């Protein structure tokens, strides 16, 4: 940055001229979102102005949303939401069917641990955003105080951790009792146990569409049928479609839903629709299984409530885990089964007996001492910035015709490509470039999301990320311009639908 001269709007106040120069650099791309700006003292020195004038510069830019102040860190270029339309809601739905996952999912799972991939294939925060050193310190203390944890376990789980889970649940609107919480090996075991507690092979289970591919695998392994209900990228599950699909008594046994920032869409169901959903399913005797694994990763001021908060009778089964927020490798999750507790606990004993006590006690102490809340505040701020940076890169590098979700929490972007672009082809080409793309075909048993992809933004946005998004945009543009038999493909995709 060079010393300011009087050539820029000499009639205006000096701080406005400096601010205009900075804003032009930001608008022109010389200063990217998330870039740290010079300190107030440095800005004062660079432009030969007083500290108060330099501070006026930043405050005027902050008021216009161009820069943001971070406590004890300084001023940064603010990330701005890109101007791209959101994906459209497809209200078609298909008859319940046994799950038979596409080969593309197997290919995705084979390459998911690619250490060179940018962004990563994994939908979880980068190690730099996790409190590894703090957890390591706590674990050393737990091992020192409780050497017996290496030779025995408690089948019911850590009392301290269950108490902390129940205490934290109050913020989500749920009233849980520690003695009715079952500790599990991650969030998927929690959902697995919940499903086995209320349903059996051949039963129909309602899912959001698109939905998390591991959830589809659980449905497949239990021999159950999946009924995918259309989901809006902003407001979540279509209650109108759910109402229509569940009118026949006994047609649906249970729903497995993520109303707060699900993978891959990142939608957030409004409170009144959550209330209406609980009422509808209660009147029809359909069990709700709720996974709130992303509920703590909200970008707004308030944590969104869970469905369980509208459940006075204990009918809703609430599941969650610490795998997406603090310790992916600990594989600690939990389920609050309500009136299904006895069966769920029995299934846990028969399935995997217990979970490691050491990691449970470490998490309990981390939460109790306030470290978890402190960590979550930083994690949410980082993920919100990274989401906007990734979305901005998509808007700049992807071709016309693309659509983009802007989630209010979670870790995923859901991107709609031009209709004839096959996500399998995008995935196949991107993986050769070590770009972590998940094909939309992996998130449904139907063909309706073949032209969608998922990107995760769990890692800090870097020059490598920018280059990867530019390359990915070129791949999508090349496929969009290719002379392909799109009409036949679209016909195949659209034909087996029901109104």
The mean pLDDT value of the chain amounts to: 90
Compute the average pLDDT of residues 282-290: 97
Token digits of residue 138: 């706590």
Q: Which of 165, 189, 107 is nearest to 439 (CA)?
A: 107
pLDDT per residue as tens digits for the range 314-341: 899 999 999 999 999 999 999 999 999 9
Pick the CATH number of 373-494 from 3.40.640.10, 3.90.1150.10, 3.90.1300.10, 3.30.470.20: 3.90.1150.10
Q: Report the distance separating Cα 203 and Cα 176, nearest Å.
A: 28
Q: How large a percentage of the chain has pLDDT more than 90?
A: 75
pLDDT of residue 496: 38
pLDDT of residue 493: 44
pLDDT per residue as tens digits for the range 426-462: 999 999 999 999 999 999 988 899 999 999 999 999 9
Mention the CATH class of domain 130-372: alpha beta
Q: Report the distance separating Cα 121 and Cα 326, nearest Å.
A: 18
Backbone dihedral region for residue 87 (phi beyond 0: left; psi -120 to 50: alpha; all else: beta): beta
Among 79-83, 176-180, 465-469, the minimum mean pLDDT is found in 79-83
Domain boundaries, the chain: 14-77, 130-372, 373-494
Question: Model-level pTM?
Answer: 0.84
- Asked if residues 11 and 20 have their Cβ atoms less than 8 Å apart, the reply is no
pLDDT per residue as tens digits for the range 93-114: 677 877 776 677 788 888 888 9
pLDDT per residue as tens digits for the range 340-352: 999 999 999 999 9
Q: Report the distance separating Cα 440 and Cα 312, nearest Å.
A: 37
Q: Which of 315, 320, 311, 317 is nearest to 275 (CA)?
A: 311
**Winning range, highest mean pLDDT, from 29-33, 193-197, 386-390:** 193-197
Evaluate whether the domain defined by 14-77 bears CATH number 1.10.10.10.
yes
More confident residue, 153 or 53: 53
């Amino acid at each position: 940055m060079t010393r300011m001269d009087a050539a820029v709007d000499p009639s205006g106040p000096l701080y406005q001229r400096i601010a205009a120069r900075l804003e032009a650099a930001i608008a022109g791309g010389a200063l990217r979102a998330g870039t740290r700006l010079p300190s107030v003292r440095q800005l004062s020195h660079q432009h030969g102005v007083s500290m108060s004038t330099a501070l006026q510069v930043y405050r005027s830019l902050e008021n216009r949303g161009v820069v943001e102040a971070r406590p004890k860190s300084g001023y940064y270029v603010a990330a701005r939401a890109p101007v791209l339309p959101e994906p459209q809601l497809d209200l078609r739905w298909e008859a319940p069917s046994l799950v038979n996952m596409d080969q593309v999912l197997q290919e995705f799972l084979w390459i998911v641990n690619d250490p060179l991939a940018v962004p990563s294939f994994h939908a979880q925060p980068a190690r730099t955003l996790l409190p590894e050193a703090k957890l390591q310190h706590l674990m050393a203390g737990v091992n020192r105080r409780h050497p017996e944890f290496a030779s025995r376990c408690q089948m019911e789980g850590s009392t301290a951790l269950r108490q902390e889970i129940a205490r934290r649940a109050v913020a989500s609107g749920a009233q849980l009792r520690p003695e009715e919480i079952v500790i599990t090996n991650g969030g998927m075991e929690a959902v697995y146990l919940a499903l086995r507690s209320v349903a059996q092979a051949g039963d129909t289970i309602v899912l959001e569409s698109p939905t998390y591919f591991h959830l589809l695998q659980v449905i497949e392994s239990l021999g159950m049928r999946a009924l995918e209900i259309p989901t809006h990228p902003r407001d979540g599950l279509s209650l109108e479609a759910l109402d229509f699909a569940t009118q026949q008594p006994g047609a649906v046994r249970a729903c497995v839903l993520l109303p707060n920032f699900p993978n891959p869409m990142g939608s957030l169901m409004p409170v009144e629709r959550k209330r209406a959903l609980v009422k509808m399913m209660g009147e029809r005797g359909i069990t709700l299984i709720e996974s709130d694994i992303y509920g703590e990763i909200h970008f707004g001021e308030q944590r969104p409530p869970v469905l369980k908060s509208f459940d006075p009778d204990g009918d809703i089964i609430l599941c969650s885990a610490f795998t997406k927020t603090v310790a992916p490798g600990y594989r600690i999750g939990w389920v609050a089964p309500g009136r299904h507790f006895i069966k769920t606990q029995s299934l846990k004993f028969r399935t995997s007996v217990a979970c490691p006590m050491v990691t449970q006690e470490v998490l309990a102490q981390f939460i109790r001492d306030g470290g978890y809340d402190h960590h979550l505040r930083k994690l949410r701020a980082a993920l919100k910035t990274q989401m906007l940076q990734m979305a901005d890169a998509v808007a700049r590098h992807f071709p016309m015709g693309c659509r983009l979700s802007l989630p209010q929490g979670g870790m995923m972007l859901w991107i709609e490509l031009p209709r004839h672009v096959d996500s399998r082809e995008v995935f196949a080409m991107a993986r050769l470039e070590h770009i972590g793309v998940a094909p939309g075909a992996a998130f449904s048993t139907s063909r309706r999301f073949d032209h969608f992809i998922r990107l995760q933004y769990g890692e800090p946005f870097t020059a490598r990320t920018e280059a990867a998004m530019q390359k990915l945009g070129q791949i999508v543009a090349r496929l969009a311009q290719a002379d392909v038999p799109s009409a036949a493909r679209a016909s195949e995709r659209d034909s087996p639908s029901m109104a």
